C-alpha cells in the first residue's frame, strides 16, 4: 500500500504558498550544489555501501553479547530509541529473554548505578556515540564504564567496547588508536539529528536484529529524487519534502508557531521525540521557527488535546497514521448494551476510529493538518519517513533564510556548564557565571 500525504485539511487556501513555491528553482540549484559538494550526506548517503559492509563484518562481534549499553545524547540516542520501540517492542514486554538495548542519554546517577550493578560486564557491549568525541555527558559516562570494564575484565576490557565517532580526530578516535577498540565512523558533515541512518542508529538496530537494509533503502527511495544532478525546480515542487517545507514556512508567516507531531502508530511514538529535536534544533534560530510538540494517539486525546482543540489558534499538525496496523483480538459479543457498538469488532478498529475522529475534530477546530498515511509500519516506511522529514526540515530552513544544519544557541549552555566544572579557559563564561550566581535572588518557599 502506498505512503500518502493527505493535504485535504492543510488550509492551503489560507496560506501564502505561492511566494515559497516560486523559489523552487532556487532550492533545486542549492540542493544540486550542496549535494554535489558532499555537504548533505544525510540525503546522498555516500557512506551506505561501506557501512553495510562494516555492519556485516560486525555481526559476529555483536552476537557475543546479550546487552548493549548505548552512551549518547540528543541525535546520538533519539533515533536509536525510536527504532527500538518501533521494531523491537518485545524488550518492554513480559517474559523478554533476547538481546536488550539500554540507552544512557542523560546525566542520571540512578540509572548509571543500576547499569553498573545489574549488567553482566562479560555479556555487555558498551557503545559510545559522539562525533566530536568531546560531548561530556557521553564521554563522562565512557570514563566510568571504561573503569568498570577494566575492573571486571582486566586487560580484555577493550573487547567489550565499541566507539562510533569521527574517523580521523577527537578524543574517542585517540582511544581507538591507543587501545585497538572496535570503531565505526560518523561521516563528515553529518549532524547528530540527521545521523540515525548512519552507524549511529544502525549499530543498535543491527544488534536487535532489525532489517537495516530496508531502513536505508526506504530513505534512499525518498532522497534519491532530491540528489539527482538533473533536479529542477519543476520536479522539486512535486516532491513531498518541498511541499511540506513550503507549507511549514507559510504557516510560520501566518503566526502558526507550534507544529504538533501526532502519531497514531503507537509503537512509533518516539519518532515524535526524534522529530522534535530535528525541527527545533534546525529551525529555532534568529527569533524564528515553530515549537514542535510530540503527541501520541490515543493517549494524548485524554490530556493535551484539549489545548490543541480549544487553545490558542497557533498550531498546525503532522498527523501520522497507518491503516494496516494489526487488528488484535475481537471484543466479546456479550457486552453490556452501552458498549454494543464494539461487539465482535476487532480491537484494532478502535485506534483507526479514534484517529479519524481526532483528525476531523482538529480540522474542524481550525488546525491546519497534513496526514502522513504510512502504507505499513515497516522498516522501509520508517526509512522513508526519516528521509522525508529530514529533507523537509532542511528545505524549510532554507526558505526561512536560516541555516538548518547548525545549533549555535545550544553551544552557550555547554560552555557555561564546562565553566561551572572549572574547565580551562572560558574566562568570560566564568565571570558571567559568577555574576549570575552572586546576584540577589528572589527566593520564596512553597
- pLDDT one-digit tens code per residue, 405-418: 998 888 888 888 88
DSSP annotation of 187 reads P
Q: Which candidate, 135, 78, 75, places its Cα nearest to that of 107?
A: 135
pLDDT at position 125? 98
Mean pLDDT of 317-346: 97
Q: What average pLDDT does the structure give for the chain? A: 96
pLDDT at position 408? 84
Is the predicted pLDDT of residue 387 greater than 90, yes or no? yes
Same domain, 184 and 54: yes
- Which residue do the cell numbers 549532524 mark? 191
The answer to whether residue 257 is domain-embedded is yes
pLDDT at position 163? 98
The answer to whether residue 425 is domain-embedded is no
The answer to whether residue 430 is domain-embedded is no
Is the predicted pLDDT of residue 92 greater than 90, yes or no? yes
Q: Which candidate, 206, 243, 196, places its Cα nearest to that of 81?
A: 196
Same domain, 277 and 375: yes
d(CA 155, CA 149): 9
Same domain, 231 and 299: yes
Give the distance, in angstroms, between the CA of residue 72 and the centroid of all CA atoms in the same chain: 13
Same domain, 236 and 381: yes
Same domain, 248 and 381: yes
pLDDT at position 1? 79
pLDDT at position 414? 84
Confidence of residue 421 (pLDDT cuts 50, 70, 90): confident
**Any idea which residues carry the catalytic annotation?**
281, 302, 414
d(CA 395, CA 391): 6
Same domain, 132 and 228: no
Helix, strand, or coil here: 346? strand
The answer to whether residue 408 is domain-embedded is no
The answer to whether residue 258 is domain-embedded is yes
The CATH number for 226's domain is: 3.40.50.10490
Q: Which candidate, 208, 196, 206, 313, places its Cα nearest to that of 260?
A: 313
pLDDT at position 394? 98
Question: Any residues with CB less than 8 A from the CB of 93 and at least 6 apart, and which?
Answer: none
Same domain, 143 and 184: yes
Same domain, 14 and 116: no
d(CA 399, CA 396): 5
pLDDT at position 280? 98
pLDDT per position as a tens digit, 360-386: 999 999 999 999 999 999 999 999 999
State percent of the chain over pLDDT 70.
100
State percent of the chain over pLDDT 90.
94
Helices 379-400 and 270-283, interaxial angle, to 10°? 20
pLDDT at position 80? 98
The residue among 400, 415, 435 that closes a domain is 400
Mean pLDDT of 247-270: 98
pLDDT per position as a tens digit, 12-32: 999 999 999 999 999 999 999
pLDDT at position 405? 95
Mean pLDDT of 260-287: 98
Where does residue 336 rank: exposed (0-12), middle (13-18), buried (19+ CB within 10 A)? exposed
- DSSP annotation string for 58-108: HHHHHTT-SEEEEE--GGGTHHHHHHHHHH-GGGGSTT--S-EEEEE-S--
Same domain, 206 and 254: no
The answer to whether residue 414 is domain-embedded is no
Same domain, 259 and 167: no
Question: CA 125, 131, 134 angle in degrees (round to 5)?
Answer: 90
* Single pTM value for the model: 0.96
Is the predicted pLDDT of residue 95 greater than 90, yes or no? yes
The residue among 210, 229, 255 that closes a domain is 210
Confidence of residue 419 (pLDDT cuts 50, 70, 90): confident
Positive or negative CA dihedral for 61, 215, 278, 166? positive
Same domain, 201 and 268: no
pLDDT per position as a tens digit, 29-44: 999 999 999 999 999 9
Same domain, 326 and 367: yes
Contact in structure between 137 and 82 (CB atoms under 8 Å): no
Mean pLDDT of 335-355: 97
CA distances to 13, 261, 297, 317 from 256, rounded to whole Å, are 15, 14, 22, 10
Is the predicted pLDDT of residue 243 greater than 90, yes or no? yes
Sheet containing strand 258-263, edge to edge, reads 4-6, 369-373, 315-321, 258-263, 291-296
Domain count, the chain: 2
Mean pLDDT of 261-265: 98
d(CA 338, CA 232): 58
Where does residue 94 rank: exposed (0-12), middle (13-18), buried (19+ CB within 10 A)? exposed
The answer to whether residue 417 is domain-embedded is no
Mean pLDDT of 143-164: 98
Confidence of residue 186 (pLDDT cuts 50, 70, 90): very high
The answer to whether residue 436 is domain-embedded is no
Residue 131 domain boundaries: 41-210
The residue among 191, 210, 229 that closes a domain is 210
Amino acid at each position: 500500500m502506498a505512503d500518502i500525504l493527505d493535504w485535504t485539511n492543510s488550509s492551503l487556501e489560507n496560506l501564502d504558498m505561492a511566494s515559497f513555491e516560486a523559489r523552487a528553482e532556487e532550492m533545486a540549484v542549492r540542493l544540486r550544489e550542496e549535494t554535489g559538494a558532499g555537504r548533505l550526506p544525510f540525503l546522498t548517503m555516500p557512506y551506505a555501501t561501506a557501512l553495510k559492509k562494516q555492519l556485516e563484518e560486525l555481526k559476529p562481534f555483536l552476537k557475543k553479547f546479550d546487552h548493549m549499553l548505548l552512551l549518547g545524547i540528543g541525535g546520538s540516542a533519539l533515533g536509536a530509541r525510536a527504532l527500538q520501540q518501533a521494531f523491537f517492542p518485545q524488550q518492554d514486554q513480559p517474559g523478554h529473554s533476547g538481546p536488550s538495548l539500554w540507552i544512557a542519554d542523560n546525566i542520571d546517577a540512578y540509572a548509571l548505578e543500576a547499569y553498573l550493578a545489574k549488567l553482566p560486564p562479560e555479556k555487555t557491549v558498551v557503545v559510545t556515540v559522539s562525533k566530536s568525541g568531546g560531548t561530556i555527558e557521553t564521554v563522562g559516562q565512557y570514563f566510568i564504564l571504561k573503569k568498570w570494564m577494566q575492573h571486571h575484565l582486566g586487560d580484555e576490557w577493550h573487547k567489550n567496547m565499541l566507539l562510533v565517532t569521527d574517523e580521523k580526530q577527537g578524543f574517542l578516535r585517540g582511544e581507538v588508536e591507543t587501545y585497538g577498540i572496535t570503531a565505526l565512523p560518523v561521516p563528515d558533515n553529518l549532524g547528530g539529528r540527521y545521523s540515525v541512518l548512519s552507524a549511529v542508529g544502525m549499530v543498535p538496530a543491527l544488534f536487535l536484529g532489525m532489517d537495516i537494509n530496508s531502513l536505508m533503502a526506504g530513505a534512499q527511495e525518498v532522497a534519491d529524487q532530491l540528489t539527482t544532478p538533473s533536479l529542477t525546480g519543476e520536479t522539486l515542487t512535486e516532491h513531498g519534502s518541498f511541499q511540506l517545507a513550503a507549507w511549514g514556512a507559510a504557516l510560520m508567516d501566518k503566526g502558526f508557531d507550534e507544529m504538533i507531531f501526532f502519531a497514531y502508530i503507537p509503537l512509533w511514538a518516539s519518532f515524535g521525540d526524534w522529530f522534535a529535536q530535528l525541527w527545533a534544533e534546525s529551525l529555532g534560530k534568529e527569533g524564528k521557527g515553530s515549537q514542535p510538540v510530540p503527541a501520541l494517539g490515543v493517549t494524548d486525546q485524554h490530556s493535551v488535546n484539549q489545548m490543541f482543540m480549544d487553545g490558542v489558534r497557533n498550531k498546525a499538525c503532522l498527523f501520522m497514521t497507518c491503516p494496516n496496523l494489526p487488528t488484535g483480538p475481537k471484543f466479546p459479543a456479550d457486552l453490556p448494551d452501552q458498549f454494543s457498538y464494539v461487539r465482535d469488532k476487532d480491537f484494532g478498529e478502535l485506534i483507526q476510529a479514534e484517529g479519524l475522529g481526532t483528525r476531523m475534530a482538529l480540522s474542524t477546530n481550525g488546525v491546519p493538518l497534513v496526514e502522513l498515511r504510512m502504507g505499513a509500519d515497516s522498516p522501509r516506511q520508517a526509512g522513508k519517513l526519516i528521509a522525508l522529514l529530514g529533507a523537509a526540515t532542511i528545505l524549510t530552513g532554507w526558505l526561512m533564510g536560516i541555516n538548518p544544519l547548525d545549533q549555535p544557541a545550544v553551544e552557550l549552555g555547554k560552555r557555561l556548564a564546562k565553566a561551572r566544572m572549572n574547565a580551562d579557559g572560558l574566562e568570560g563564561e566564568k565571570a558571567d557565571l559568577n555574576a549570575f550566581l552572586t546576584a540577589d535572588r528572589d527566593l520564596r518557599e512553597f
